[in-house]
């Protein structure tokens, strides 16, 4: 294999991928997650460093998902374990909520945003910083979700509002008083909401494509893991039904869910690519890896069903957004540690 997607970005001086470059990458990764979901496995460490490019000179890019060292069967995961690299960690993991394979979709959404802009979306130094960036950009999860978090009380206060007990995220000052840690803003772009991503993506002729990509990323980063888009739904998203030769007319969002899929078993090339993407890493990792490949082999004959479909054009006009960009894109250093604050709920 050639190099990781992170190294590829670095080689490009952190210039983001265009939607044309990014579309096949997301397709391959969503397909890989679909296969893992079908056999009940969480990868738990999806990030640009763990996505290898087969040949950087090949178009479109062909990628492989690697490093199953943190993978878990969904049936055995419990709230509490520290998994996923900090910048790509789903909030339900940090808050010690029950979680499942939806955490991989969160990581894919963060990765897609990073690949499209060249910079990490939520590059915090600690869990508190990352949560603060998420909630400032996306709002906080509903109280019925927060109520189930074993560490919600570490990051939130319970306040009386209009006769109701509601969770309020602790201010940097309150958190510093509690822990001695003073929050830092390490973001390259301070987005007021995810719609503002369209303003920091690499410029393209067809702005419609970027609006659809942002819509897809928003669905990947839904704060409720039960509502978060599933891998197969990603493949049905209108972002994949529009090409550079398509009409630039606006396209509809997926409010009514993905369109019906028409299955064909004629195209096996993509199947073989995805098998190769997983196979080398799985057989080398033993343990979970061997079990995963055993399961994967059993469903090999059905894998083709994920690959040839007809999609209907749809329409979307992204709402107006705002952001506070940094004045330039300086070279950056990479923080890739799995880090969390000490302390209990």
Residue 108 is inside which H or E element, if any? helix 102-117
Active-site residue list: 45
Going from the C-alpha of 341 to that of each of 72, 133, 181, 333, the distances in angstroms are 23, 16, 9, 22
How buried is residue 227: exposed, middle or buried, by Cβ count under 10 Å (0-12/13-18/19+)? exposed
In 77-116, which positions are buried (b, 16+ CB within 10 angstroms) versus exposed (e)?
A: beeeeebbbbbbbbbbbbbbbebbbbbbbbbbbbbbbbbb
CB-based contact 55:49 (threshold 8 Å): no
CB-based contact 213:112 (threshold 8 Å): yes
What sign for the dihedral angle of Cα 51, 52, 55, 56? positive
Instruction: Give CA–CA dist 112/54, Å, rounded.
Output: 18
């Amino acid at each position: 294999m050639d190099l990781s997607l992170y190294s590829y970005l670095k080689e490009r001086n952190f210039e983001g991928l265009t939607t044309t470059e990014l579309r096949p990458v997301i397709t391959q990764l969503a397909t890989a997650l679909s296969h893992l979901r079908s056999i009940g496995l969480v990868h738990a460490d999806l990030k640009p460093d763990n996505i290898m490019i087969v040949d950087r000179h090949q178009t479109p890019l062909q990628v492989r998902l690697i490093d199953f060292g943190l993978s878990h069967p969904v049936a055995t995961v419990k709230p509490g374990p520290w998994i996923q690299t900090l910048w790509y960690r789903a909030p339900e993991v940090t808050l010690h909520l029950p979680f499942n394979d939806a955490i991989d979709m969160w990581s894919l959404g963060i990765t897609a945003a990073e690949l499209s802009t060249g910079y990490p979306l939520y590059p915090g130094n600690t869990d508190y910083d990352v949560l603060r960036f998420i909630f400032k950009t996306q709002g906080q999860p509903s109280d019925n979700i927060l109520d189930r978090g074993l560490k919600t009380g570490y990051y939130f206060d319970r306040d009386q509002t209009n006769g109701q007990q509601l969770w309020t995220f602790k201010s940097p000052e309150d958190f510093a008083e509690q822990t001695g840690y003073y929050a830092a803003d390490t973001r390259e772009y301070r987005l007021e909401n995810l719609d503002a991503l369209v303003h920091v993506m690499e410029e393209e002729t067809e702005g419609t494509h970027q609006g659809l990509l942002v819509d897809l990323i928003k669905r990947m980063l839904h704060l409720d893991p039960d509502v978060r888009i599933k891998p197969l739904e990603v493949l049905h998203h209108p972002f994949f039904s529009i090409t550079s030769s398509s009409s630039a007319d606006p396209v509809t969002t997926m409010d009514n869910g993905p369109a019906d899929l028409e299955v064909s078993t004629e195209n096996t090339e993509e199947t073989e690519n995805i098998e190769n993407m997983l196979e080398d890493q799985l057989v080398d990792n033993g343990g979970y890896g061997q079990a995963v490949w055993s399961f994967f082999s059993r469903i090999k004959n059905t894998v083709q069903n994920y690959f040839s479909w007809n999609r209907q054009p749809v329409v979307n006009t992204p709402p107006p957004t705002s952001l506070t960009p940094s004045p330039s894109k300086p070279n950056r250093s990479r923080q890739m540690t799995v880090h969390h604050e000490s302390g209990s709920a």
